[in-house]
Structure 1
Amino acid sequence: MARIDEELVRGIADAVRKRVGERIGTTFESCFRNTLSTTMRELPDGTLFLLTGDIPAMWLRDSTAQLTPYLHFADRDPLLADTISRVSRRQLDYVLLDPYANAFNAGPDAAGHQSDATEQSPWVWERKYEVDSLCYPVQLAHDLWRITGRTDHLDRFAEAARAIIALWRVEQRHETDSDYRFQRFDAPQSDTLVRDGLGPLTEPTGLTWSGFRPSDDATEHGYNIPGNAFAAVELAHIAELAREVLDDAALADDAEALRAEIAAAIAEHGVVAGPDGDPIYAYEVDGRGATLVMDDANVPSLLSLPMLGWCASDDPLYLATRRAILGPHNPHWARGEHAYGIGSPHTPPGHVWPIALAVEGLTATEESERMRIIETLVATDAGTGLMHESFHPDDPTVYTRPWFSWANAMFCELVLDACGLRTHRRAPIGSEVTG
């Protein structure tokens, strides 16, 4: 089934080739076609189920990120806008089915991690609670409305937004108010939560708790700072949709109040002394004095804060954080003969992630830096014409996940940016913290 006008695809690919050459253009076209041609499944209710790639499940996070490069053309192609709308509706239905789940099945077939000790549903592939999993459906719904003016995907948005706000408020006091528990047995420590599934000990701060990171790895300290920054941005988007589309002042007020609490808590608890003594954002804190200085390749990350709309790319506090995490002070940064950049404890040590390289390019202030990263990504695809989850910077033929749609999408987003074809950017509306 077609998801985008073929003439539009050829026109975009030709425009890319004219600006950056045949080799980059060919890889771009391969990645750009991949998501639309390989990952979508129509469900009986007319919504679309979007595979993450080589895992037969739909992640709320990945399915939004996978559609990012297509949003720039949704106002030109009604078929493409319909596709995005149908994915958005599916996401909101999943949020209402279980707002603590991160990944879902196409139907109630009990596929996935059904032996985990948590409240199970046959619809849920995995129930690792990650604050960003609730941010991404709001981001997609807001982006589609802002770009196209469409509202047909918003019929359950207010209901889902209320569920999100209620959960985030409960998780501001996770230790005393939350019923969420998660344990996975006979698995690495990163796949389960300590203290019989309750997670690491935290104290209330105004931040909202997350059991797992965007990598699906357990948090070390409970309050993930980039996840909270993302939540603050998307609460502003909830308020905007509530006021301008839904005529729901109460929802807007609730969203704005929670956004202010989280933003203030980031300023108070999420800014720490960096390696050279300058203030930087921590990756995680617990409200009890423990902090973690690092960054992970998965988004939301500290590196991605301008891309998400939390701050400007030239914000002094962000720039200080960027300097700290793009180098050896970040334990997950790696350098090799063919590349250097941020990796993740989710993949083998010493690997670099194409997603993180793309984010580094998208948040760079110099065009030369964007082009260097694009050329690195093309040169390290192991001859596949597609991006992978991670690769070894000394030997790019050593990689994880041969089919990873999120990485393909991020490469396309970076190329579109370099070519002047990335028409939609998120304004820095989230931050009340300055360097």
Structure 2
Amino acid sequence: MIPKILLQKAEELEAKTAQKLPSLAPLAKQCFLNTIETTVTELPDGSAFVITGDIPAMWLRDSAAQLKPYLKYAAEDEDLKNILRSVIGKHAFYVNLDPYSNAFNSEVLKKGYSEDDHSDFQSGWIWERKYEVDSLCAPLYLSHEYYEVTKDSSIFTEEFRLMIEKIVHTFHTEQRHGERSSYWFVRENAWAPSDTLPMNGKGRPVNYTGMTWSGFRPSDDSCKFGYLIPSNMMAVVALRKAAGLLEAGYEDTALKADCLALAAEIEDGIEAYGIVDHPKYGKIYAYETDGFGNYNLMDDANSPSLLAIPYLGYRSAEDPIYQNTRRFVLSEDNPYYYSGKAARGIGSPHTPPRYIWHIGLSMQILTSTDPQEKQECLDTIARTHAGTNFMHEGFDVDDPSKFTRPWFAWANTLFAQMLEEEVK
């Protein structure tokens, strides 16, 4: 059953959009409701399970992102509160089971993204075991906003506290990946080199920086260099949110102090090792580094991204280094920025060349301070959904009728979230 508050807010969003952005009105209601209508199911035990869309598994990151537009209304509807509270509990269960997995099954199954995956831990609960720092950040963002809106202290179970403890321990371990971590991942018969980790599954060597290592990006592609800057930025914010949750729900002052100290270490590492003095743009944040002086200068449409820095809460949109970085990211100097006959924007190595992402366009609007730039992106979205009135993953910049993933709830969610901001 769809919570009544969401049906009401979908109608309101459609009406406001029809008034202010009429070309996007046909998309408003169905994109807003896409997650709750098509991806949230009730399991036999009464708990909620959230698939990502056309893949029948629950990603920690995607499920948190898909539910985000609904959080602000949680205090107004008990059915919605029950769904969100259930997902928060399921996140805690999954993270405590294995903090290195990014996607999970609804029950113990011999089922996953690939039967050719090998790692140091296996379970029938796991759909895919690609370690991504942002997967551990997402449950903290979700639960923090949920508590801020509802003040529902019932989420503060021992399992939830253990989740925070597990996340902090994992981030500490991965600060010295080569020395302390047992994690490795190999996918035989991978569709591309980015679908597995090099160096026998351990990834390329990294130096100690204070940042925490990530095997994979939010696109589920492997990192070229192990310190993924946007994900580390998300970790800084997430750890501070965790400290706030611990203060509200527990008397664990030691774990709270550890969260804050670790956030400071990671932030120091970002600022010391993650900034490059670019000859054209000045000081900018790199996408990845290894701490040995090697940098990957690019951005990917998936969030966390460099474009999303203000959205993540790491720095303001006016921050000068962010502004420099943004100019780089939205230029041809970013190898995954494409311009074509129908559109221009950020794509990903995860999708074909010259395909840009609706997630990237929505994020560009959410982080822009320029009304003209926002309008251009809104116009682009209005003419590139290929008549489906839904967002896609990537689409051809010359021919939007060519696209990937017609059912991608995260993209619909972020669009609806952006639209609410633009028409309020």
TM-score category (smaller protein): over 0.9
Q: Distance in 2 between matches of 1:303 and 1:154?
A: 33
Q: Contact (CA 8 Å) 1:103, 1:124: kept in 2 or not?
A: yes
Find 2:385's aligned residue among 381, 384, 406: 381
Q: Give the number of equivalent residue pairs.
A: 419
Residues 91-129 of structure 1 show CA distances to partners (whole Å, capped at 9, x for unaligned) of 121111110000001110121124311121111000000
Q: CA deviation at 1:374?
A: 2.0
Q: CA deviation at 1:15?
A: 2.9
Q: Contact (CA 8 Å) 2:315, 2:322: kept in 1 or not?
A: yes
Paired residues for 1:8-407 under 5 Å: 8-21=9-22, 23-112=23-112, 113-118=114-119, 119-155=121-157, 156-187=159-190, 188-276=192-280, 278-407=282-411
Which segment is superposed worse, 138-147 or 268-277?
268-277
Q: CA deviation at 1:379?
A: 1.2
Q: Distance in 1 between matches of 2:383 and 2:358?
A: 11
Q: CA deviation at 1:27?
A: 0.5
TM-score calculated relative to the size of structure 2: 0.96
Q: CA deviation at 1:277?
A: 5.3
Instruction: Please provide the CA RMSD for this pair.
Output: 1.3
Residues 322-371 of structure 1 show CA distances to partners (whole Å, capped at 9, x for unaligned) of 00110111000001111111000000001100001100000000233223
Q: CA deviation at 1:275?
A: 4.4
Q: CA deviation at 1:312?
A: 0.4
Q: Which runs of 5+ in 2 are unaligned?
A: none
Q: Contact (CA 8 Å) 1:371, 1:418: kept in 2 or not?
A: no
1:433 aligned partner: none
Letter in 1 for 2:152: R
Letter in 2 for 1:295: D
Q: Contact (CA 8 Å) 1:228, 1:266: kept in 2 or not?
A: yes
Which segment is superposed worse, 71-80 or 187-196?
71-80
Q: CA deviation at 1:208?
A: 0.3
Q: Distance in 2 between matches of 1:259 and 1:143?
A: 19
Letter in 2 for 1:215: S
Q: Distance in 2 between matches of 1:353 and 1:154?
A: 37
TM-score calculated relative to the size of structure 1: 0.94
Q: Distance in 2 between matches of 1:108 and 1:19?
A: 47
Classify the secondary structure of the residue corresponding to 2:403: strand
Q: Distance in 1 between matches of 2:278 and 2:111?
A: 43
Q: CA deviation at 1:8?
A: 3.8
Residues 66-90 of structure 1 show CA distances to partners (whole Å, capped at 9, x for unaligned) of 1122123223333222222222211
Classify the secondary structure of the residue corresponding to 2:298: coil
Find 1:408's aligned residue among 385, 399, 412: 412
Classify the secondary structure of the residue corresponding to 1:385: coil
Letter in 2 for 1:63: S
Q: Distance in 1 between matches of 2:61 and 2:4?
A: 22
Which segment is superposed worse, 223-232 or 37-46?
37-46
Q: Which runs of 5+ in 1 are unaligned?
A: 421-435
CA 1:314–1:78 in structure 2 vs 1: closer, same or farther (change >3 Å)?
Answer: same
Which segment is superposed worse, 367-376 or 52-61?
367-376
Which segment is superposed worse, 273-282 or 52-61?
273-282
CA 1:368–1:149 in structure 2 vs 1: closer, same or farther (change >3 Å)?
Answer: farther
Q: Distance in 1 between matches of 2:66 and 2:292?
A: 37
Q: Contact (CA 8 Å) 2:13, 2:420: kept in 1 or not?
A: no
